[in-house]
Chains A and B, each alone.
Chain A
Amino acid sequence: MSDERTLDLLEAKIEELKQLNVMDGIDLSSEIAKLEKKLVELRRELYANLSDWERVKIARNPKRPYALDYIQTIFTGFYELHGDRMIGDDRALLTGLAQLNGQTVVIVAQQKGRSTEENKERFFGMARPQGYRKGVRAMKLAERFGFPVITFIDTPGAYPGVESEEANIGGAIAESLLTMSQLRTPILSVVIGEGGSGGALAIGVADRVLMLENAVYSVITPEGAAAILWKEKDKTKEAAAALNLTAEHLSELGLIDTVIPEPLGGAHKDFDQTVEALKASLVGFLNELRKIKLDKLLDARFKRYRSIGSYRELGVSEQEAYSEETAPSGDAPVEEAPDE
C-alpha cells in the first residue's frame, strides 16, 4: 500500500506535468486526468485502511491547520485577551473575543507553533498554569455577559516542567474543570488535532464535544502507554490501537457528540473545505444550545458527565467475599504507578 509521502510525490509530479502542459503547448491533459484519478483512488484506499497510529501522525502533522487558522477564518474580528492577572501571559493557550455570524463568543484555544521560533514562544502547545488560569478568567467573563464559549483543543498535554509544578499545574487544571462544569453559558469544545490528556480535558468540559475526523483524544500518548504498560518503546502502534483514541472510536463509545469530516488526506489538503464543515457544525450546535434554558443546559451538562463510566455489578458471591475483612496487610507487591 502506498503511504502519504509517495502520494505527495505523485501529486507534485502531476503539478509538474500541468506546468509542462502550459509551457510547451503539448496536450497532456488526458494523461493528467488519468493520474489525478489514480491519485484520488490511491488516497481513498490509503485513508480507508489507516491505522490508529497513522491517524495520530496526521493529528500531529505540522502542516495541519492550528487553532489560529480556524479562528481567523471562521470568526470575524478576533480580539485577543492576554494574561492571567497573576503570573503572566501563556502563549500556548489563547483567549479572546470574536464574532460568529454576528454574535459575540469567547474563544479559548491551544495554539501550537510551526517554526522553532514559534514553538519556543508557544511551548509546542503545552499550556502552563497561567494559561489555564487565563482560560478560567475568559470563561468567567463569558458567563458574566452571556457569551457562549468555544474551545479549540490541540495539545500534547499540559507543560510538564518544574515551573508548571511550582505554580501548581494540577490545581490549575482542576480549577478549570470545576469552572467549566458550573459555567452558566453554553460551551462547545472541538478537538482539532491532539487531545492530550488532562491538559486537553482542562478546556474540554462542554455541552457538546466535537472532533475533526483525524484528530485524536487520549488519556496518554501512545508513546507513554507503550513505555509504561508494554515497557517497550516500539509498541506505540499497538498502544495507539488499544487506546481507542480516534474520533471514530470515541464516537462509537458515545464519548463525543460528532465527527467533522475532513478532506481526503487530512484537513490541510483542503483547508477551505475543512473550515466550511467545522463552521457549519459550530453554528448548528450553537443555535441548538442557545434555545435551551440555562438551568436545563446546566442540568444536562451535569447529567452528561455524571453518567460517564463503564463498570459492572459484582456477583452475589463476590459481594459476600468483599464484605468480609479479607485484605492481607502491608507488604504485598506494589504495581508501578501510571504517570498520567
Chain B
Amino acid sequence: MSIFKDKQYLRVNVDKVPDESLWMKCKACGELIFKRRVRENNNICPNCGEYFFLTVEERIEMLVDEDNFDNISKSIEADDPLEFVDRKSYQERVEQAQGVTGLPDAIVVGRTKINEVAVILGVMDFRFIGGSMGSVMGEQICHGMETAIADKCPFILVSSSGGARLQEGLFSLLQMAKTTAVRAKLADVGLPFISIMTYPTSGGVQASIASLGDIIIAERGAMIGFAGRRVIQHTIAQELPSNYQTDTFAFEHGAIDRVVKRDHMREELSTLLSFFAEVA
C-alpha cells in the first residue's frame, strides 16, 4: 500500500497514562479508559468487562436504596495485643490502611434497605490489610448479626478478605469461632443470612462465617478457597487446574448457590429477600 509509505504518524505511548486523575489503564485489556465511565459502570471495565475493586462506599451505594445507609459499626479500632512487629509494626500498618481507606478497620456494618426491605449489611474492604479478619472485624460482624436479631431482619455479609489478620495471632484465628457462635444465634431465631463472596474470599473468613450463609452467592470473578496458591505449592507442590478457586470452580463443585454479575447483584438480593418476606 504505497500511499502509507513514508508517512509520519503521531506516536501515542499507551504505557503512560496521560492524566491519572481522569484516566486509568485496564489491567486486563490494557485499554485507556475514562475513570468516570468506569465508576458509572460499577468499577467494571467498559471495554473488556474486567472487575476492579469496589471500596466499601461504592459497594454500599451499588447495593442499597438511595441515601439509605445508617453506619452502625461500633467505634473501635485494632489494638495490638501481641505488640507485633515484622518489617513494619502492626500499629503502623493499621494507621497506613486507615489513611488509605478512611476506615477504622476492614469492615463497615450498617442498617439499610434493599428495595424497601430492611436488612443489616456488612461490607469488607480488601484494601485494609487484605480485608483480613482480626478482633475488630470479628466484633463488627457479631454486632451486625446481633443488631439483625434485635431488628428481626436478615443479615447480609459481603466478603472480600485474604483470611485471618496474622498480626493478631491466635486472637484472629479465634474470630472464626466467635463469628460462628453468633451466627448460630441468628439461626436459632430463624433469620436469614445471605453470604456474598467477592474477590477474594479465602482463608479463615472462607472457612468460617462466609461459608455459613443460608444462601451463598459469589460475585462473578470471585476467588474462593481456603489455602492460597502459594501455600499449596509450598506444602505439596501440586499442579493446579487453570480455573482453580475461581467462582466457576466453587460453583461446579457445589460450594455456592449461584454466581451473579456485579451489576445484577442488587436485583438478585431483592429477589432473594422477597422469598423471606414472611419470616423476617
Chain A residues with CB under 8 Å of chain B are: 156-158, 160-162, 164-171, 173-175, 177-178, 180-182, 197-198, 201-202, 204-205, 217-220, 224-225, 227-231, 235, 238-239, 242-245, 250, 253, 255, 301-302, 305-306, 308-314, 318-319, 321-323, 325-340
Task: Encode contact with A along B218-236: 1 for CB under 8 Å, 0 otherwise.
Answer: 0000001111101110111
Q: Is the CB of A339 within 8 A of B53?
A: no
Do A334 and B208 contact each other (CB < 8 Å), given the known contacts A178-B184, A305-B174? no
Instruction: Kindly list chain A residues whose C-beta atoms are within 8 Å of the C-beta of B232.
Output: 160-162
* A177 contact set on B, CB distance < 8 A: 176-177, 180, 208
Minimum Cβ distance to chain A for residue B104 (Å): 5
Q: Are A306 and B181 in contact (CB under 8 A)?
A: yes
The distance in angstroms between the C-alpha atoms of A255 and B82, with both chains bound, is 13
Q: With A170-B211, A331-B24, A332-B127 in contact, do A338 and B177 touch (Cβ < 8 Å)?
A: no
Q: Which of B81, B129, B225 contacts A310 (CB 8 A)?
A: B81
With A309-B139, A330-B39, A340-B166 known as contacts, the answer to whether A170 contacts B206 (CB < 8 A) is yes
Instruction: Tell me how many residues of B have a C-beta within 8 Å of chain A.
Output: 98
| Known contacts A170-B211, A174-B211, A242-B82; A338/B164 CB under 8 A | yes
Give the A-B pair count, Cβ closer than 8 A: 285
Q: List chain A residues, Cβ under 8 A from B227.
A: 157-158, 160, 164-165, 169, 339-340
Q: Which of A165, A181, A218, A331 contacts B184 (CB 8 A)?
A: A181
Contact in complex: B180, A174 (CB < 8 Å): yes
CB distance A339 to B163 under 8 Å? yes
Whether A178 touches B53, Cβ cut-off 8 Å, given contacts A205-B177, A305-B174, is no
Within 180-202 of B, Cβ neighbours of A (below 8 Å) are at: 180-185, 200, 202
B214 CB within 8 Å of chain A? no
Q: Nearest residue in B to A243 (C-beta to C-beta)? A: B169
Give the CA-CA distance A330 to B238 in the complex, in Å.
35
Contacts of B79 in A (CB 8 A): 310-312
Docked pose: A235 CA to B101 CA in angstroms = 30
Bound together, the chains give a CA A160 to CA B226 distance in angstroms of 8
Closest B-chain residue to A173, C-beta based?
A: B207
Counting CB contacts under 8 A, is B29 at the interface? no
The answer, among A156, A314, A333, for a CB contact under 8 Å with B104, is A314
Residues on A with beta carbons closer than 8 Å to the beta carbon of B151: none
Stretch at the interface among B5-13, B239-247, B257-265, B268-276: B239-247
On whether the beta carbons of B169 and A245 are closer than 8 Å, the reply is: yes
Interfacial residues of chain B within 36-89, with CB under 8 A of chain A in the complex: 38-39, 43, 52-53, 55-58, 71, 75-79, 81-82, 84-87
List of B residues within 8 angstroms of A235 by Cβ? 86
**Residues of chain A contacted by B38 (CB below 8 angstroms):** 330
Q: Lowest 8 CB-CB distances: which A-B pairs, in order?
A: A337-B162, A160-B227, A309-B135, A339-B228, A327-B102, A337-B130, A310-B81, A229-B86
> Once the chains bind, are B235 and A311 in contact (CB under 8 Å)?
no
Q: What is the distance, in angstroms, from A262's C-beta to the closest C-beta of chain B?
A: 20
Complexed CA–CA distance, A245 and B53 (Å) = 34
Task: Verify B97–A335 contact, CB threshold 8 A.
Answer: yes
Flag if A334 contacts B177 (CB, 8 Å).
no
Check B77–A312 contact: CB distance below 8 A: yes
